Structure 1
């Protein structure tokens, strides 16, 4: 056998080996075959992944979560990136803040390999220490990088950098954008204290600061910032002023089982875990359907809005195809935690998110939340919070 033929056979064998290995490591055991009695909720609990991840991997079930025996449900714990024009493995690794060598290895690639538009690449899920895993967002009509940064309460510059975009770059409907995570929030149980902690830091006022923006920046209630500093609503800030800012770390509470959420008191705990500006997933406790929402306002309870028209449509379907004041037990998935809550879906009053087919905001209650109108407890909401927490 001549040397040229030997090289061809060897190269073919290596290519086959790499393909086989990458297929197994990337896709082996990543699909659940539906059997009698299965539901999406049961599958999520079996594989210890969130309902939002189930829907992310299986978008066909968002409008109708009914399963048939023999269906295949994707349950991969890996993030998937669809290659777009201009992508390279290096750009993708930088965008997701992952190691290039890990990205190449996970996908059976070597340095210098070409990738093509539409190709699916698995993204290593381990994030740099102290950071949350990045999430992705699908661009809808009228979106701009600026409006998206405001939706997710992230820096406009960081959003552009994470997606290799410039100020004037065009984005298109259906495009996937990486939403950079915040680095100042704990993401795992062992980063949180065993009991609730409250400390104080000092903020030095700079040009453009006002008390409302400072409260949003540090994720604390506006009224509390005023109270701690002895200010009134009309207090005027001067550049260089020193502002005392409370910082809360809320301990993770035990639950009776993985299907339940932590029972957090609204006034002393939940409002600090779900502050104004926070984006999170809401999972209906009974159906398992989930949608993305943002807390935009609210003091006695969280006033929230669906992030997109698709989220509003899912929300409406949970309430039988219409918006309603009726309460439902839900789980709020935020920063790796699952919180017990109760939601109604009727849009009302002021709105902050445009182009989401939802004219107003809706209500989200946690333990001991009260009504805005009279400051009293809502018994039906509280029952649902307890159901979601496994207390009933």
Structure 2
């Protein structure tokens, strides 16, 4: 979830990036949406918006998706959530060293289904890909993704919106389209470890940090 944080003595943006994201290089993810031009200057008592970035986990030897689901969610049967979020066709095969996205299922939002909505459409709207519907269906115990009752309240798992780069895309244009502010391009670049924001490649998958709660 997006959080607000009040700066205390000794804080730096690199320390906060390490604390919240496990990666001190993600300073721009915090600096840009907070309008901080000099990352070395934050003041005690200053309130910062901490965007949400989906947690990642690097696969270790002997790990399985069901074991990871048990570890992160307390329920090994939720392994299809991990498989869907990471486009894993065979959940029995994961490579050591692979970086996996771990959707948030704990501190999540809620959505009330309205007429005409499907899990496919919600997955496309929330995450950028209709094929990610199992991320919604499994935590909500929906066995038939083609049928969801109007008025039903769904858990909305936390997972960053993703976009596959097409010809003509630029980070500035994507930032304007997604956030309504082209200057957020630097945040997208940092979150995706893009050294030169003027160079993105067709077919590259980009993840967009959340600036609002689910």
Q: When the two structures are superposed, what TM-score results if normalisation uses the length of structure 1?
A: 0.18
Instruction: Return the index of the structure with the highest Cα Rg.
Output: 1
